[in-house]
Structure 1
Amino acid sequence: MTARVLVAKPGLDGHDRGAKIVARALRDAGFEVVFTGIRQRIEDIVSIALQEDVAVVGLSILSGAHVSLTTRTVDALRAAGAGDIAVIVGGTIPQSDVARLLEVGAAAVFPTGTSLETLVTEIRALTNVPSPDPSA
């Protein structure tokens, strides 16, 4: 059993190294990953999420617009009838904004410094995908 995850870079932020590292870590952990590239519009992210039938949309945001972009993404998914798609957000996020992001609908928040192991574990829990059996 695997889950599909969309890793997206909304807004005008052009830095994608962290998003690419996350995408690779998820792929290496057995997830199917779709990567949008940089400077994506919310409407396009939602469209891709629907087309690709993803379980999770991961937003990578370094611009400081994380509350606005997360809110708009959650609202757009709900408006498209896809409110069951979990939205997670990571990047340069002050600890003081984590609760607000959860309030606007983020399923999980991963501020700078979150380990890849923690990220993978939490996304497994969100998608009900068990860890691979090491004896297999």
Structure 2
Amino acid sequence: MSRPIRVLVAKPGLDGHDRGAKVVAAALRDAGMEVIYTGLHQTPEMIASAAIQEDVDVVGLSILSGAHMTLFPRVQQLLREQGRDDVLLTGGGIIPKEDMAALETQGVGKLFGPGTSTADLVEYIKTWFAERQSQEA
């Protein structure tokens, strides 16, 4: 039996709306994942540090502020600098489709917009994790 998937859910920046992040965290927990929620107003440095300390498999950012083109690449850079380019960086929020595509070409995982079923996110993470586990075996 494989271990639980460890996910860090974070709200970077000044956006104070965390209902969606809490809904996602609960859905991931209900799906059997270990979830760490960092709370509001996190810097990319705080997020990356928590991800390293908690030894997570996935970092999910919830961004409604419009700063996604800065925040996702910065968290990704910080994780890579710590040798953790094996972490899936995913997330969601108010992100235009063209920006989602641009971030995905930079190595960010699939991003989810408003109205996405939490089941879709759960399935995406479980599929990614299973593929990673099979590559390591």
- Structures share fold, TM-score greater than 0.5: yes
- The equivalent of 1:78 in structure 2 is 80
User: 1:7 Cα shift?
Assistant: 0.1
Q: After TM superposition, give the deviation of residue 93 of structure 1 in Å.
A: 1.1
Cα RMSD after superposing both structures? 1.1
What letter matches 1:64 in structure 2? G
The corresponding residue for 1:133 is none
Distance in 2 of aligned mates of 1:83 and 1:59: 16
Report the TM-score when normalising by structure 1: 0.91
Name the structure 2 match of 1:108. Answer: 110
State percent identity of aligned pairs. 54
Q: Note the C-alpha offset of 1:128.
A: 1.4
Q: Distance in 1 between matches of 2:30 and 2:77?
A: 30
Residue 29 of structure 2 is matched in structure 1 by 27
Q: Is the aligned partner of 1:55 residue 2:57?
A: yes
Q: Which SS does the other structure have where 1:34 is aligned?
A: strand
More helix by share: 2
> Cα distance, 1:96 vs. partner?
2.0
Correspondence for 1:6 among 8, 19, 25: 8
Counterpart-to-counterpart distance in 1, 2:80 and 2:61: 16
Moved more, 32-41 or 108-117: 108-117
Query: Residue type of the partner of 1:32?
Result: E
Greater shift, 31-40 or 93-102, is seen at 93-102
Question: SS in structure 1 opposite 2:36?
Answer: strand
Deviation at 1:27, TM superposition (A): 0.1
Shift in Å, 1:113: 1.6
Letter in 1 for 2:106: V
Larger displacement relative to structure 2 (57-66 or 92-101): 92-101
Per the alignment, residue 89 of structure 2 pairs with 87
Q: CA deviation at 1:68?
A: 0.9
| Superposition misfits of 4+ residues, deviation over 4 angstroms | none
